[in-house]
Amino acid sequence: MRDRFTSSQWAGLTLIGGLIIFPFVVSLFTGQPVESGVPKFWQGMLIQVFILAVFAMSYDILMGYTGILSFGHALFFGTGAYTIGILLKHAGWDLGSALLAVIVIAIIQSLIVGLLSLRVSGVYFAMVTLAFAQMFFLLAEATDFRQWTGAEDGLQSIPVPAWISPTTERLRFYYVTLAFAIIMYLLARQVVNSPTGRVMMAIRDNETRAKVLGYHTLTFKLIAITVSGVMAALAGAFNALWNLNANPAVLGVGTTINALLMTIIGGVGSLIGPMLGAGVIQLLGYWLNVFFGPSWPLLFGIVYILIVLFLPYGIVGTWRLRSAGWLAMWRERSRSLIRFFNHP
Partner 1 sequence: MSDWIIETHRLTRDFGSLRAVDQVDLQVRSGSIHAIIGPNGAGKTTLFNLISGYLKPTSGRVLLRGQDITRVPLHRMAHLGIGRSFQITNIFPTLTVLENVRLAAQARGRDNFRLWTSAAKLRAYTERALAALHQVGLHERALQIAATLPHGDKRRLELAILLAGDADILLLDEPTAGMATEQVPMLLELLRGIRQGTNKTILIVEHNMSVVMSLAETITVMHQGRVLAEGSPAAISANQAVREAYLGTAFAGGQP
> Contact with partner 1 (CB under 8 A): which of 83, 117, 149, 217?
217
Q: Do 271 and 57 contact (CB within 8 A), yes or no?
A: yes
> Contact with partner 1 (CB under 8 A): which of 194, 295, 334, 336?
194
Residue type, 287: W
Burial (CB count <10 Å: 0-12, 13-18, 19+), residue 284: middle
Q: Do 205 and 67 contact (CB within 8 A), yes or no?
A: yes
Q: Cβ 273 to partner 1, closest distance in Å?
A: 15
d(CA 173, CA 187): 21
Burial (CB count <10 Å: 0-12, 13-18, 19+), residue 44: middle
Any contact of residue 196 with partner 1 (CB under 8 A)? Answer: yes
Stretch that binds partner 1, among 8-16, 88-96, 155-163, 186-194 (CB under 8 A): 186-194
Any contact of residue 191 with partner 1 (CB under 8 A)? Answer: yes
Helix axes of 217-243 and 74-89: crossing angle, nearest 10 degrees: 50
Stretch that binds partner 1, among 139-147, 171-179, 196-204, 315-323 (CB under 8 A): 196-204
Give strand pairing partners of 155: 246
Stretch that binds partner 1, among 113-121, 133-141, 203-211, 251-259 (CB under 8 A): 203-211
Site for partner 1 in 283-302 (CB under 8 A): none
Any contact of residue 304 with partner 1 (CB under 8 A)? Answer: no
Q: Do 175 and 21 contact (CB within 8 A), yes or no?
A: no
Any contact of residue 201 with partner 1 (CB under 8 A)? Answer: yes
Would you call 321 helix, strand, or coil by DSSP?
Answer: coil
Burial (CB count <10 Å: 0-12, 13-18, 19+), residue 215: middle
> Contact with partner 1 (CB under 8 A): which of 162, 212, 328, 338?
212
Any contact of residue 195 with partner 1 (CB under 8 A)? Answer: yes
Nearest alpha carbon to residue 136 among 19, 220, 38, 236: 236
Any contact of residue 210 with partner 1 (CB under 8 A)? Answer: yes
Q: Cβ 190 to partner 1, closest distance in Å?
A: 7
Q: Cβ 67 to partner 1, closest distance in Å?
A: 10
What's the Cα-to-Cα distance from 171 to each of 16, 47, 72, 279, rounded to whole Å?
16, 10, 33, 19
Any contact of residue 121 with partner 1 (CB under 8 A)? Answer: no
Any contact of residue 193 with partner 1 (CB under 8 A)? Answer: yes
Q: Do 85 and 217 contact (CB within 8 A), yes or no?
A: no
Any contact of residue 97 with partner 1 (CB under 8 A)? Answer: no
Any contact of residue 215 with partner 1 (CB under 8 A)? Answer: yes
Size of the site for partner 1 (CB under 8 A): 25
Note the residues at the interface with partner 1 (CB under 8 A): 190-191, 193-199, 201-202, 204-206, 208-217, 223
